[in-house]
């Protein structure tokens, strides 16, 4: 078994259906998980829903249902979204599960035993939408002069008896952590958090008494935990904490928490402080990705332009959407989507470039070689050069993906695809059929090998289409990981079984812009 690798997404608030931002995050995390699997890691991938807190309680009240009924229904849609988008999580956690109550209370007790929790009175500004406390100095003025959080959401003055966590104790340790590691990425987020922590940390209110939709504070049952204490704990609950002999022993600390830029403070300040207090190891990295914008605009319920990712995937195809997100958005920055941008990318790169290369190579092999593969053919300098270009493109994709630089990785892959298409045009295998059949076979085998390797390289991004293609190429289902690149370049000694397709079927169709797209 390979080295363990543990990756998580944020857990979403199931106070409504999933939107395109949720789909984006889940897809990126899934691509990372699949890439690590292809590299030979033993991957654990967790996602889920964050079901407690005032935001859930208020939404349920507005709808006249219980918070649990709301969570049950909406959580199902998040799970369905993952299934539809081919997001292959290992664990889907819901924070209302009994095991999560147990884990959160165990973490609480450890922080209490460390002397980091005390009872006091909280007076300050709270945003229900962000489920966050803000300092007076952080607030901004709204259009009507009302006070808003730095995220632009309403805040209310809150006065309550509350448990506090001694966050102030951890300022220096946190700054050391940021300075000595790649704990926060990208750089812009790291700088932002570093400035926030350098500005001084106040102790954090970590319980509420004004409502009861949450996890009970051990020994103080009229308090429920502040929702972020419970939410962040999900990452260890899913591994079996507090049982430290469980998968927790193998997979903790997490390799990366993939989250959006709006919640970096919770993950990069509060979470490591809680873990330090509890004497647990810290995650290796928190990556705060950008937001997905609709033609450059933020989607919002009030503007009525919230996009449901499921119909979007039905219109354009799951693989297309996955490829688009990774290729179009510079990971870490905001990105913009529109139906035209999706169709343009899919047609130019998937259908016309790679799809066409695969389709014409396989068709010629089928027609001219009876679908039969040959090993050990003589090869020329042009063949070697192409194979070298493809191997380089794949190495560049792997290096970029390991840095989460997906758009550049796919661009390098695309350059290798172009090199193959150029090779087909130059070698013109159709013209060799009569004049030099042995050379034609060699050219087609070079293409077969290059297409296969390019397919395997991009499989984490577009798994369904690539599996359909590799099926047509007779490649064993168990031999589709990156170990395959190590096989001898010209198939000497390679067992190629069952390449017998009547007529190769294209796996990346050309898309039309839907009529109703503006
Ligand atoms: O924040 N583009 O839940 P959430 C990209 N429950 N990502 C986006 C986005 C957009 N337009 N909008 C939101 C929460 N996200 C908490 C997390 S984790 C212990 C608790 C991202 O449903 C957002 O940044 O509001 C977050 O990472 C995730 O979607 C869930 O957001």
How confident is the prediction along the chain (518 residues), in pLDDT tens digits per residue?
899 999 999 999 999 999 999 999 999 999 999 999 999 999 999 999 999 999 999 999 999 999 999 999 999 999 999 999 999 999 999 999 999 999 999 999 999 999 999 999 999 999 999 999 999 999 999 988 899 999 999 999 999 999 999 999 999 999 999 999 999 999 999 999 999 999 999 999 999 999 999 999 999 999 999 999 999 999 999 999 999 999 999 999 999 999 999 999 999 999 999 999 999 999 999 999 999 999 888 887 767 788 999 999 999 999 999 999 999 999 999 999 999 999 999 999 999 999 999 999 999 999 998 888 887 778 899 999 999 999 999 999 999 999 999 999 999 999 999 999 999 999 999 999 999 999 999 999 999 999 999 999 999 999 999 999 999 988 889 999 999 998 776 655 445 555 666 678 999 999 999 877 65
For residue 405, the surrounding DSSP H or E stretch is none
Nearest CA to ligand 1 atom 14: 12
- 336 Cα: distance to centroid of ligand 1 (angstroms): 17
- 11 Cα: distance to centroid of ligand 1 (angstroms): 8
Is any atom of ligand 1 closer than 6 Å to the C-beta of 25?
A: yes
Q: Which residues contact 322 (CB under 8 A, 6 or more apart)?
A: 27, 30, 31, 85, 86, 461, 462
- 335 Cα: distance to centroid of ligand 1 (angstroms): 15
* Paired tokens of 496: 């190629």
pTM strictly above 0.80: yes
* Paired tokens of 20: 């395109």
- How far apart CA 509 and CA 518 sit, in angstroms, is 22
Judged on CB neighbours under 10 Å (0-12, 13-18, 19+), 514 is exposed
- Give the three-state DSSP class for 275: helix
Residue recorded with tokens 């993952």: 82
- How far apart CA 435 and CA 429 sit, in angstroms, is 10
Identify whether the C-beta of residue 1 lies closer than 8 Å to the C-beta of residue 41. no
Is any atom of ligand 1 closer than 6 Å to the C-beta of 53?
A: no
- 333 Cα: distance to centroid of ligand 1 (angstroms): 15
Is any atom of ligand 1 closer than 6 Å to the C-beta of 334?
A: no
Q: Where are the alpha helices (DSSP H) in 114-268?
A: 171-180, 187-198, 227-237, 247-251, 264-265
- 192 Cα: distance to centroid of ligand 1 (angstroms): 18
Ligand 1 atom nearest to 293, measured from its CA: 11
Judged on CB neighbours under 10 Å (0-12, 13-18, 19+), 1 is exposed
Is any atom of ligand 1 closer than 6 Å to the C-beta of 49?
A: no
Identify whether the C-beta of residue 282 lies closer than 8 Å to the C-beta of residue 276. yes
Is any atom of ligand 1 closer than 6 Å to the C-beta of 74?
A: no
* Paired tokens of 210: 């004004």
Identify whether the C-beta of residue 472 lies closer than 8 Å to the C-beta of residue 497. no
Ligand 1 atom nearest to 290, measured from its CA: 5
Is any atom of ligand 1 closer than 6 Å to the C-beta of 13?
A: yes
Residues in the chain, total: 518
Identify whether the C-beta of residue 275 lies closer than 8 Å to the C-beta of residue 246. no
Is any atom of ligand 1 closer than 6 Å to the C-beta of 291?
A: yes
Torsion angle in degrees (nearest 10) through CA of 226, 227, 229, 232: -170
- 18 Cα: distance to centroid of ligand 1 (angstroms): 10
- 117 Cα: distance to centroid of ligand 1 (angstroms): 28
Interior/surface letters 318-343, b for 16+ CB within 10 angstroms, e for the rest: bbbbbbbbbbbbebbeebebebeebb
- How far apart CA 109 and CA 34 sit, in angstroms, is 36
Is any atom of ligand 1 closer than 6 Å to the C-beta of 286?
A: no
Identify whether the C-beta of residue 261 lies closer than 8 Å to the C-beta of residue 286. no
């Amino acid at each position: 078994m390979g080295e363990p690798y543990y990756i998580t997404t944020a857990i979403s608030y199931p106070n409504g259906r999933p939107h395109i931002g949720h789909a984006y995050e889940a897809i990126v995390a899934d691509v990372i998980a699949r890439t690590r699997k292809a590299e030979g890691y033993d991957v654990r991938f967790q996602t889920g829903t964050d079901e407690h807190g005032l935001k859930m309680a208020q939404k349920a009240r507005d709808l006249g249902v219980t918070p649990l009924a709301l969570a049950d229904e909406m959580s199902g849609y998040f799970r369905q979204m993952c299934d539809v988008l081919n997001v292959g999580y290992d664990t889907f956690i819901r924070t209302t599960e009994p095991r999560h109550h147990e884990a959160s209370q165990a973490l609480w007790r450890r922080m209490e035993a460390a002397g980091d929790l005390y009872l006091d009175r909280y007076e300050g500004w709270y945003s229900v939408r962000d489920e966050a406390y803000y300092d007076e100095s952080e607030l901004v003025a709204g259009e009507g002069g009302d006070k808003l959080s730095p995220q632009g959401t309403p805040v209310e003055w809150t006065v309550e008896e509350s448990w506090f966590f001694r966050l102030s104790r951890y300022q220096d340790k946190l700054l050391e952590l940021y300075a000595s590691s790649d704990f926060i990425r990208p750089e812009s987020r790291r700088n932002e958090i570093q400035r926030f922590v350098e500005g001084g940390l106040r102790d954090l209110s970590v319980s509420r008494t004004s409502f009861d939709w949450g996890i009970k504070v051990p020994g103080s049952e009229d308090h429920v935990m502040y929702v972020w204490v419970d939410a962040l704990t999900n990452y260890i609950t899913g591994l079996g904490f507090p049982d430290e002999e469980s998968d927790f022993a193998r997979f903790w600390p997490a390799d990366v928490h993939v989250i959006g830029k709006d919640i970096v403070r919770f993950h990069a300040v509060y979470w490591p402080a809680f873990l330090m207090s509890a004497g647990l190891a810290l995650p290796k990295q928190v990556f705060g990705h950008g937001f997905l914008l609709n033609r450059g605009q933020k989607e919002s319920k009030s503007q009525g332009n919230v996009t449901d990712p499921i119909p979007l995937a039905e219109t354009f195809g799951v693989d297309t959407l996955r490829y688009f997100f990774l290729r179009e958005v510079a990971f870490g920055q905001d990105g913009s989507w529109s139906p035209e941008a999706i169709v343009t990318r899919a047609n130019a790169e998937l259908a016309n470039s790679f799809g066409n290369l695969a389709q014409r190579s396989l068709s010629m092999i089928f027609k001219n070689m009876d679908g039969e593969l040959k090993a050990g053919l003589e090869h020329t300098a042009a063949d070697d050069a192409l194979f070298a270009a493809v191997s380089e493109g794949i190495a560049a994709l792997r290096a970029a993906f390991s840095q989460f630089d997906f758009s550049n990785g796919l661009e390098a892959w695309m350059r290798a695809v172009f090199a193959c298409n150029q090779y087909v045009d130059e070698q013109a295998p159709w013209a060799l059929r009569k004049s030099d059949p042995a050379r034609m076979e060699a050219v087609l085998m070079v293409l077969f090998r290059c297409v296969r390797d390019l397919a395997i390289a991009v499989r984490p991004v577009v798994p369904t289409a690539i599996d359909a293609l590799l099926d047509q190429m007779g490649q064993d289902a168990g031999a589709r990981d990156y170990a395959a690149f190590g096989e001898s370049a010209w198939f000497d000694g390679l067992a190629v079984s069952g390449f017998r397709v009547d007529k190769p079927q294209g796996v990346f169709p050309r898309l039309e812009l839907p009529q109703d797209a503006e």
